[in-house]
Each structure stands twice: as structure tokens, then as C-alpha cells.
Amino acid sequence: MTVINTLSNSLSTIYNNERRRNNQAILMPSSKLIVNVLRTMQKEGYIGEFEYIDDGRWGKIVVQLLGRINKCGSITPRYSLTYREVISLPDYIRRYLPSKEIGVIILSTPKGVMTHKEAARQRTGGVVLGYVY
């Protein structure tokens, strides 16, 4: 099994299981970045609890789905944004989110993985990872 982008693979697995109305999704391989993105999605209320299972190889993550995700995915290439660009994200919002107030864009910042709204509040820039609504 060759996986080029594990974050993209994980988000598409969540989206596909959500569309099939499954109660849970199993993500593999796992990484710290995927866990941090899942924590951010959990804080925003898009997913329920998730559990890391160490299988001795790559590791698995079992995610409880709540049926609240309409679309999610990763953004490639991963563009770097300054604080001023995070405040005015109209290009990314128009391209990836259906409306200005619906959904979030997930960023990796020096202060951790967070949404674009949190990054604007904490006055920090970062790298665009994905979106969810």
C-alpha cells in the first residue's frame, strides 16, 4: 500500500464513510498531524470521540461520526499564509467553503493546529492543511 498524502487519505475516508452514513471510520496509517486535525474537528463539533489503536505497524484511528460533515478534504499544495492573509481569507473561503460563516479552514501554525478563526484571534499565520463544513 503506497500512500502519498496521509492527511488527504484520512479526510477522504471520513468523507466517504459520512456519505455512506456509517457510524465510524477507521483511518490508517496514523500520524500526529492527523490526530491534531481530528482534535480540531472535534472541538468544532464535526466528529465525536476518536481512539488511537497501536497495531505494531502504522497505527489506526477509529473515529465516531456524528453525521454533521457535508464535505471535508485537504488543500494541496500547502500554501503558507501570513497573519494578514489569515484575517482576509476571501480567496480560500470562496474556493473551499460554501459561505463565509459556514465551515472552517484548518491551519498548522507555530501555536498548533487550529481553525482560521482561532488563528485570526491569536494573531498568527500558518500553513493551510484542509477544510471542513
Domain residue ranges in the chain:
6-65, 72-132
CATH number of 6-65: 3.30.1370.30
pLDDT at 22 over 60: yes
- Residues 54-112 have pLDDT tens digits of 988 889 999 999 999 999 999 989 989 888 888 877 777 888 899 878 999 999 999 99
CA–CA separation, 10 vs 29, rounded Å? Answer: 8
Domain 72-132 fold is Dna Ligase; domain 1 (3.30.1490)
| pTM as predicted | 0.92
**Based on C-alpha coordinates, what's the Rg of the chain?**
14
124 Cβ neighbours under 8 A, 6+ residues apart = 83, 86, 109, 110, 111
- Under DSSP, is residue 115 helix (H, G, I), strand (E, B) or coil? strand
